[in-house]
Structure 1
């Protein structure tokens, strides 16, 4: 992968030469660049797909299927938390991005929230600065077509965990993205002791089973967090077998939200 600020020029050049393009997230580092990329793809008649890979992870696909089937009732709220440790392997160039690591990692949570709630409007945002234009933490609140969401990001965490809770009127799912686990919880009814115990045992069993299953896939080289499926679907779309899995419009929508978060957070 190339640094995000190179995506626009390289993508537009490739499209002008007749290539179909799969570009890493974020699609670009500004809304203007993302619009130019989308325009170039339309003008060239080529496919431009953005690598929003977690959409195709097993856990997220399960959660989306449950929502589509009405198993959670009406989805009302999404909570997303990104804890990122600076001790893990990070891109050498992330400090050069708008907001630092924020602009590289936030796209994942933004496109996932958007998958559950629809197009997003930033209601509020704040950051704590780490100096030199880099954010040490970011808090954002969104309104979607189907409900509201909160995103909390911490970049100086002692450990790295990315988790989401999708809450509906009849149930909820907890997504552990780094372990590719989806925990499904129903209503606890009267919240009696037996109800709490039932919920606790179910959550523990599902998460433990998920750790074992994902560990087995990791050992077998099959834990790809949606990348393999995304690439297959992109190739199929180029061959005309299916629509693009993630369109340029989807990538542009995420960049717009990122820019809106930084703009809102910079207000005095």
Structure 2
């Protein structure tokens, strides 16, 4: 089979640390083009592959006609670039949040369908070994129903991660559209939906800018009620200055399931009968310690096997809906039903 010709649009941190190295390691892929308004940055990424460099993604799509693209640009441009790429006949892997509005997300899904291409959203939490293990344990039924939960994602903020540091687009509302909620909160909305095999029914959100000099949110605490009735909290923060937290605790009928709460035993089951199980399955990736995200391989597998991606546009849209509802809750002071 001939290789999948992939173009990377947006050559910042997520492209450099996740997309490009993971495409490079995938035997089915040839990286053919890189695009960034900062051409020097695109050139740096392209050099090892002898790939073409572009400042304008539309010219890239027109000239290269890639089989697939990764959209790794600021949030505000995710929808327009994804739509143009799908219209050009390319499969699309778009970073999260997939869009800034529900209308945009719906349009992305529609255009991908019309053009017979796959649309996948980069929700990497589903692929991390502790989360995969936790879902397996839930599926056995030994823990019974999930009754309540808390899921949290916090770190010191994008300035330590973004290639532009403190002057990153992450802090500019016109490019980012949202802050910690779009960066971290949407990941946890996706994770809790997937882990529990359940949809969010009601959302309440306290969202604020507490410590960063920015016009986007740096902290959020949300309450969620699932369709099953389970209630819990979702926290997103850019001000966990003493270190990252990406943990989830599920209180179930027969015990508690702890994910990412212990540095050694990534998944811990404590049953009501007193027994404790500890699972060492590999760490959750952090900004400091990158591990393979699983997203790129899943996207490529979809194309190779002609199987729709598990983290489809529809899945990304449902996770985005939770975050948008939290902003609506903050604006109206009411709980929002989905």
Report deviation, 1:261. 0.6
1:111 has 2:190 as partner? yes
Residues 1:90 and 1:41: Cα distance change in structure 2 (over 3 Å): same
Structure 1 residue aligned with 2:148: 77
Residues 1:165 and 2:249 are matched in the alignment: yes
User: Where does structure 2 lack aligned partners over 5 or more consecutive residues?
Assistant: 1-71, 163-167, 334-338
Normalised to the residue count of structure 1, the TM-score between the two structures is 0.81
1:150 aligns with 2:224: no
Question: Quick check: 1:138 aligned with 2:138?
Answer: no
Alpha carbons 1:74, 1:169 under 8 Å: kept: yes
Q: Which residue number in structure 1 is paired with residue 84 of structure 2?
A: 13
Distance across 2 between alignment mates of 1:19 and 1:186: 47
- Paired residues, what number? 247
Q: CA deviation at 1:141?
A: 0.8
2:134/2:195 contact within 8 Å kept: no
Q: CA 1:99 to 1:222, structure 2 compared with 1: closer, same or farther past 3 Å?
A: closer
Q: Which residue of 1 aligns with 2:207?
A: 127
Q: CA distance change for structure 1 residues 28 and 222 in 2, over 3 Å: closer, same or farther?
A: closer
Cα offset, 1:255, TM superposition: 1.4
User: CA 1:180–1:30 in structure 2 vs 1: closer, same or farther (change >3 Å)?
Assistant: farther
CA contact (8 A) 2:149 2:232 kept: yes
Aligned to 1:236: 301
Q: 1:30 to 1:181 in 2, by over 3 A?
A: farther
Tell whether the 8 Å contact from 1:95 to 1:101 is kept in structure 2 after alignment: no
Distance 2:255 2:159 in 1: 34
Deviations 1:169-212 (A, max 9, x none): 113221118969632223244xxxxx5xx75xx66xx5xx56xx
Distance 1:230 1:136, change over 3 A: closer
TM-score normalised to the size of structure 2? 0.65
Say if 1:75 and 1:141 are closer, same or farther in 2 by CA, change over 3 A: same
The alignment status of 1:66 with 2:137, answered yes or no, reads: yes
1:30-57 Cα shifts (integer Å, max 9, x gaps): 1111111011111111110111111011
Superposed, 1:1-268 pairs within 5 Å as: 1-86=72-157, 89-91=160-162, 92-96=168-172, 97-117=176-196, 118-130=198-210, 133-146=215-228, 147-158=230-241, 159-176=243-260, 182-189=266-273, 195=274, 214=283, 223-224=291-292, 227=293, 229-240=294-305, 242-268=307-333
Kept in 2, the 8 Å contact 1:23–1:51? The answer is yes
Could you say which structure has the greater relative contact order, defined with CA pairs below 8 angstroms and 6 or more residues apart?
1
Contact 1:11-1:23 within 8 A present in 2 as well: yes
Q: Which runs of 4+ in 1 moved over 6 A?
A: 177-180
Q: Is the 8 A contact 1:113 1:149 kept in 2?
A: no
User: What are structure 1's unaligned runs of at least 5 residues?
Assistant: 190-194
Q: State how far apart, in whole Å, the 2-side matches of 1:187 and 1:133 are.
A: 45
Shift of 1:267: 2.2
Partner of 1:134, secondary structure, is: coil
Instruction: State the 1:149 CA deviation.
Output: 2.2
The question of whether the paired residues in 1 share the 8 Å contact of 2:158 and 2:170 is answered with no
